[in-house]
Amino acid sequence: MYALRDKVIIVTGASSGIGLASARQFGSEGARVVMAARSFDRMQSLAPSVADSDHVLCVRCDVSREEDCRALVEAAVARWGRIDVLVNNAGVSMRAMFRDLDLAVLHRLMDVNYWGTVYCTKYALPYLLSSKGIVVGVTSIAGYSALPARTGYSSSKFAIRGFLDALRIEHLKDGLSVLVFAPGYTASNVRRSALAADGTPQGDTPLEEGRLMSAERCARLLSRSLHRRRSRTVVTPLGHASVWTRRLFPRLMDRLTFNYLSREAGSPFK
């Protein structure tokens, strides 16, 4: 088992939702946690709930900026001299039909979700190779089975999976583990901050967040995947059903997905 005690773990998007819950989970297991996000003051106020001050570091980082990602890795190494696990979790979603979409929204999603993962992985990789550590991409079921009105989100998550699967094979003999971790619906802020056609946050969620999997449970499953050095984890029963139905019955899955999401509150297609 890969124990997290005293491991140095970077979590991007640690100011909210799955990232914050993961930081707390890792902290509770004795890891040294580097929290990264744009909301620095918020992270500072949350840090005591993650770990004692000698086991937590907050770094302001916009993952869409390459120089921020380089500085994040440098800050972790300056503090603890090593990196064992990088969790590329920072992400943003969207909801709009492609025909209505300002292309800047697609660029933004690729910049944060895909390029953020690439930049952080690029700068952390030498340290992860020397510690025989783990790089994680928090993708989505939408990275296995595409979702309508989420063209930018689905394509960014497919891209992360392709990138990480290729990286895993490149380093198959080097002791590096690469985990594609795909949550299903999880209670968080992701739907409220999702971008509308013009790039503004939609500000509301079409789901009853309280009925979804909790971010804490998602974080425990992520931790378990790290313990086992897994390559792939798909979370939630609906997530598993979606991935397998997509694989076995792709045309049926198109129709099921259309019907399911067209019934969502405020759906842009009917």
Ligand X SMILES: NC(=O)c1ccc[n+]([C@@H]2O[C@H](COP(=O)([O-])OP(=O)(O)OC[C@H]3O[C@@H](n4cnc5c(N)ncnc54)[C@H](OP(=O)(O)O)[C@@H]3O)[C@@H](O)[C@H]2O)c1
What positions carry a catalytic annotation? 153
Q: Is 214 exposed, middle or buried (0-12, 13-18, 19+ CB in 10 A)?
A: middle
Shortest Å, Cβ 256 to ligand X: 18
State the DSSP code for 213: B
How far, in Å, CA of 163 to CA of 125, rounded?
14
Secondary structure element (H or E) that encloses residue 157, with its range: helix 151-170
Q: Are 261 and 90 in contact (CB under 8 A)?
A: no
**Could you say whether residue 136 binds ligand X (CB under 6 A)?**
no
**Could you say whether residue 209 binds ligand X (CB under 6 A)?**
no
Among 28, 131, 193, 231, binds ligand X (CB under 6 A): 193
- Pick the closer one to ligand X by CB: 174 or 204: 204
**Could you say whether residue 101 binds ligand X (CB under 6 A)?**
no
**Could you say whether residue 152 binds ligand X (CB under 6 A)?**
no
State the DSSP code for 186: B
State the DSSP code for 36: E
Among 4, 10, 37, 69, binds ligand X (CB under 6 A): 37
**Could you say whether residue 138 binds ligand X (CB under 6 A)?**
yes
Place of tokens 């999401």: 261
How far, in Å, CA of 213 to CA of 184, rounded?
8
- What part of residues 231-270 is at the interface with ligand X (CB under 6 A)? none
**Could you say whether residue 202 binds ligand X (CB under 6 A)?**
no
**Could you say whether residue 17 binds ligand X (CB under 6 A)?**
yes
DSSP string, 79-90: HHS---EEEE--
Residues 6+ apart with CB under 8 A from 230: 177, 179
**Which part of the chain contacts ligand X (CB under 6 A), choosing from 98-106, 121-129, 183-191, 195-203?**
183-191
Shortest Å, Cβ 149 to ligand X: 15
**Could you say whether residue 34 binds ligand X (CB under 6 A)?**
no
Contacting positions for ligand X (CB under 6 A): 12-19, 37-39, 61-64, 89-93, 112, 138, 140, 183, 185-186, 188-190, 193
